[in-house]
Chains A and B, each alone.
Chain A
Amino acid sequence: MFKKQLTIKIILFLVLTDILETFTHLCFKKSALAGSGLNVLNPAGIFEFIVLVFSSPFVWLGLLTVLSVFIIWSSILSKIDLSVAVPIASFSYILVPLTSVVYLHEKISMLRWLGIFFILIGVIFVSLSSTEKESPLR
């Protein structure tokens, strides 16, 4: 019935992209911290910021994982709709805050966890609707 059916294989690859994406964001945060003290309200400051951040190895490590996510993502998108694929890849909305507490020692208030919970429920709703009958594809 569905041309664009979710298989276990696709879900596993989506979970893999979640883990890689979480790693990417940790790397980006690490590299961004290098330029956190700069005043970037003028063009020279923006340039200096970009040079400083891109000389951090973390940003390149992050980009490497972005590339691998891109390769996996491209093959996933050829099989299922974007509006179905994106929500399932959203497990990272829990993974990223958790890892930022553990590895970056960020503090997350109860109110913020509530907001994150809302976002996650929203994302689950968005992905649940993919099991509704969709328009016949071609």
Chain B
Amino acid sequence: MKEGLVLILFLIFTTSICDTINQLILKSAINSLEASLSFNLIKILRFILKLASLPRVWIGFLFSVLSLCIWLFVLSKVDLNFAFSVDSMHYVFIALTSQLILKEKVCWRRWLGTLLIVVGIVIVSLN
């Protein structure tokens, strides 16, 4: 049972890493397009098409497919509320990588928040 938990936690860790990679690729691709915000559907679709023409967006897509398959396996073994709560570890990876790779500012409050998330994950995993 303990070993099962470790495996599930490891798999959720893997999906979180895949999701983080996908988000970083998406964000950097969007940054490179210099888009202006619009909620006009035609403009959004045109923007998506422009995004889809970038090869790295497809690499990100592959990561999300991989993440989905692992995620579905995790969900077949454990409760949704457990898996979903533990999956919040991707906040930690996103905070780390936003600062390191995207050079966004991450202030101390945000680090405190990520610390609380980690504590929450540990508590959720306890039972």
Contact = CB atoms under 8 A, between A and B. Distances in A.
Interface of A: 9, 13, 25-26, 28-29, 31-36, 38, 40, 49-50, 53, 59, 71, 74-75, 77-79, 81-83, 86-87, 90, 92-93, 96-97, 100-101, 104, 106, 108-109, 111-112, 114-129, 132, 134-135
A58 B115 CA distance: 35
For chain B, give the interface size range.
35 or more
Contacts of B106: 83
A33 B115 CA distance: 33
A77 B38 contact: no
Interface of B is mostly: helix
Contact of B47 (A75, A123, A132): A75
Contacts of B69: 50
B114 A122 contact: yes
Contact of A28 (B72, B88, B121): B72
B1 interface: no
Contacts of A121: 113, 116, 120
B109 A28 contact: no
A110 to B, nearest CB: 10
Given A25-B80, A83-B98, A104-B80, A123 B91 contact: yes
